[in-house]
Amino acid sequence: MKNENKENYRQLLIDKIEGLVEQREVTIGTIKTTYLLCGNGKPVIFLHGAGAGAVTWYPSINIISKNFQVVAPDIVGYGESDKPDAPYNRSYFSKWLKDFMKELKISKAHIVGLSQGGAIALQFAIDNAEMVNKLVLVNAAGLGAKVSFWPLIGTIWMNSFPSSMANRFNS
C-alpha cells in the first residue's frame, strides 16, 4: 500500500503538468535513471533537492516547457531512479550528469539546481563548463562557506527593539 501511495502521488503531480509530459528511463552502465521530458527547444535540465524527485518541479515545468525542452531527472538515489551502492558525493553526481546528458545526446544545456541539485549543478559546471549554457542555482547546498552567527545576532537584536516608525502607529 505504501508503494502504491507513492506512485499515486507521483502520478498526481505529473498530471498537473499542462504540456505533453513523458516519463522515460535510460540505463547508463548498470544504473537506471528515470526522467521527465516535456516541451521543445533548447534543453533545460532541472535537478531537484535531496529527499525529492523530478516531480517537485511540476510548476516550473508548466512554464518553462512552453519555450524549452525540459529534462527533469530523478537524480540517482532518488525517486524512481536506481539507488546503487555509490559514494553519493558531488564528483559522483557530476559524472552521472555528464553521462546522462551524453546518453540523451545533449551537448549543452541550461542547468537549474535546487538545494542538493544546486550543489550538483555547480560541481558539474566546474567540471564541464563547455556543457553548460546558463547555470541557475536555487538555494544551493554545499557551497562550503560557513555561515557567521553575527548576522543572526544582529537580526535578533534589531527585531527586539520596536522602530520609531512602529511606535508612531502604536500611540
Q: What is the pLDDT of residue 6?
A: 59
What domain count does the chain have?
1
**What CATH code is carried by the domain that includes residue 104?**
3.40.50.1820
- Name every residue whose Cβ is closer than 8 Å to that of residue 58 and which is 6 or more positions away in sequence: 13, 14, 16, 17
Task: Tell me the C-alpha distance between 1 and 22, whole Å.
Answer: 25
Task: Tell me the C-alpha distance between 65 and 45, whole Å.
Answer: 11
Residue 85: DSSP 8-state: S
Q: What is the pLDDT of residue 168?
A: 44
Secondary structure (3-state) at 109: strand
Q: What is the pLDDT of residue 141?
A: 84
**Cell (9 digits) for 168:** 508612531
User: Nearest CA to 52 among 32, 25, 72, 71?
Assistant: 72
Q: What is the CB neighbour count within 10 angstroms for residue 156?
A: 9
132 DSSP β-pair partners: 109
pTM: 0.79
**Full residue range of the structural domain in which residue 32 is found:** 2-170
User: Nearest CA to 92 among 70, 75, 68, 110?
Assistant: 75
DSSP string, 3-70: HHHHHHHHHHHHHT--S-EEEEEEEETTEEEEEEEE--SSEEEEE--TT--GGGGHHHHHHHTTTSEE
Average pLDDT for runs of 10 along the chain of length 171: 63 86 95 97 97 90 95 96 94 97 98 96 97 95 64 57 48 47
